[in-house]
């Protein structure tokens, strides 16, 4: 058998490299040429699902190619996220990811079926969802300071709910417990709507809720809005102070959503996804639809989104470590 010379091998590798670049370029130019699936790792009806469907419809119109939203709930978002992480890296399976499965779970869970920092490429952030701390009116509290005083008087007796282990609502309350040095009991539910109903019904006393589902109950008097989770007040609840204003400076917890592709997806495809989604986020019609859901649009470059995620992961790692909120 003839041996191929080092020069011939070098020439072959160079040609192979050029062929790969050309194939990637052609793929990016023709992308998308078939149905694109956007995996939402939560049940229908939540903020992430709404974002995916609004943007997905506009992407279908923009590309002339169908974008299908597929809900894959379970394991605090990890089932859907793992499905995308293990998918073919061609840009035809995309994740509409959430704070939990990207930035919180790596610190909260000892074992995960995927590594978000290695197996998912940030494409762009889409929106931020501020939270409001709501209480059942039977609880004799009107401020965060009242809650802390009651928790100190009745350690472990005040029950708060969340939409699941590892959600911002869960870690937000754990953070508050830590900085206030109080003990409250956590009860996880399967979704935000369930928790709102549980607080209204008096089954749990407190919940960091998304703002839109809470507002009708606040207006009717079935819930009491105590504080907002981010650093500034929100226009839909202008009289409700922030947690930071209420004696805990630096408190800043919010749910956020963004698009991810499997690691190995061509850079040109990631760039096209980023530019297409961001153009839709700048659409006034889309902005109005987001505002109705309490979602603040937040478009980014892939690099900006990656830097933001690193900072969030570090923040939640500290909260998990200091609060002891790990889950087996």
The verdict on 31 and 105 lying in the same domain is yes
* 285 vs 6, higher pLDDT: 285
Q: Is the pTM of this model over 0.85?
A: no
**Residue-number span of the structural domain to which 138 is assigned:** 130-228
Report the alpha-carbon distance of residue 285 to residue 246 in Å, rounded: 35
CATH code at 58?
Answer: 3.40.190.150
The mean pLDDT of the chain is: 90
What residues form DSSP beta bridges with 95? 39, 260
Q: Is a pLDDT exceeding 90 seen at residue 2?
A: no
Q: Is a pLDDT exceeding 90 seen at residue 3?
A: no
CB contact set of 106 (below 8 Å; sequence gap of 6+): 112, 115, 116, 117, 313, 317
- Read off the pLDDT band of 43 (50, 70, 90): confident
Indicate the SS3 state at residue 195.
Answer: helix
Q: CA 188, 78, 328 angle in degrees (round to 5)? A: 55
- Tally the domains of the chain: 2
The verdict on 86 and 149 lying in the same domain is no
Q: What is the pLDDT of residues 252-292, one digit of tens each?
A: 999 999 999 999 999 999 999 999 999 999 999 999 999 88
Structure tokens at 94: 């995309």
245 inside domain: no
The verdict on 190 and 200 lying in the same domain is yes
244 inside domain: no
At 108, give phi and psi (nearest 5°).
-85, -35
The verdict on 155 and 220 lying in the same domain is yes
Give the C-alpha distances (Å, rounded to integers) separating 97 from 116, 193, 198, 262.
10, 19, 26, 12
Lowest mean per-residue pLDDT among 6-15, 191-200, 297-306: 6-15
236 inside domain: no
């Amino acid at each position: 058998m003839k041996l191929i010379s080092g020069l011939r091998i070098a020439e072959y590798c160079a040609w192979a490299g050029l062929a790969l670049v050309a194939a990637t370029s052609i793929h990016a130019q023709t992308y998308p040429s078939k149905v694109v699936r956007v995996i939402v790792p939560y049940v229908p009806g939540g903020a992430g699902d709404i974002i995916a469907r609004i943007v997905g419809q506009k992407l279908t119109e923009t590309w002339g190619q169908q974008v299908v939203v597929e809900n894959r709930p379970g394991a605090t978002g990890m089932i859907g996220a793992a499905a995308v992480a293990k998918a073919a890296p061609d840009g035809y399976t995309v994740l509409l990811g959430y704070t939990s499965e990207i930035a919180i779970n790596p610190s909260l869970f000892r074992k995960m079926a995927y590594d978000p920092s290695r197996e998912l490429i940030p494409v762009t952030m889409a929106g931020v969802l501020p939270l409001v701390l709501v209480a059942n009116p039977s609880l004799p509290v009107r401020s965060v300071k009242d809650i802390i005083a009651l928790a100190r008087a009745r350690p472990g007796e005040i029950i708060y709910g969340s939409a699941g282990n590892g959600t911002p609502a869960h870690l937000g309350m754990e953070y508050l417990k830590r900085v206030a040095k109080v003990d409250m009991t956590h009860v996880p539910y399967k979704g935000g709507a369930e928790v709102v109903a549980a607080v209204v019904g008096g089954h749990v006393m407190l919940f960091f809720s998304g703002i839109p589902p809470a507002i009708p109950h606040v207006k009717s008097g079935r819930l009491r809005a105590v504080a907002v989770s981010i650093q500034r007040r929100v226009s839909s609840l202008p009289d409700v102070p922030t947690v930071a204003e209420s004696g805990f400076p630096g408190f800043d917890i919010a749910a956020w959503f963004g698009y991810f592709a499997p690691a190995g997806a061509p850079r040109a495809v990631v760039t096209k996804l980023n530019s297409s989604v961001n153009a839709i986020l700048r659409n006034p019609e889309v902005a109005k639809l987001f505002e109705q859901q309490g979602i603040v649009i937040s478009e980014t470059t892939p690099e900006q989104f990656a830097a933001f995620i690193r900072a969030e992961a570090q923040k939640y790692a500290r909260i998990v470590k200091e609060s002891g909120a790990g889950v087996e």
